Amino acid sequence: MENETLKEFEAKLSALINEYKITDAAFCGTLEGRFMGGFMGKERLTASELSQSTVNVGRLWQFAREQMRRFWDQFESEAPRA
């Protein structure tokens, strides 16, 4: 993705975060095989906001881990028995 397109994406995401008054937000994803991510909302965050955003990233990791665990539990339960 070109630099201009990436800036446009970040601006739209920031606008959504501000419109819905979301606090302590972080974003991550993969674009064309490259990691992209960061803390969102304001240009300059306080230590407290950074800490809470980091906690939210941990919560997302926990959520993802639970989803993967459910997926593998279901996969194993449906596997043919030897």
Residue-wise pLDDT for 46-79, tens only, equals 999 999 999 999 999 999 999 999 999 999 898 8
Distance CA 78, CA 72 (A): 10
pLDDT at residue 15 is higher than 80: yes
Distance CA 3, CA 16 (A): 20
pLDDT of residue 1: 58
Whether pTM exceeds 0.75: no
**Of 58, 16, 9, which is closest to residue 41 (Cα–Cα)?**
16
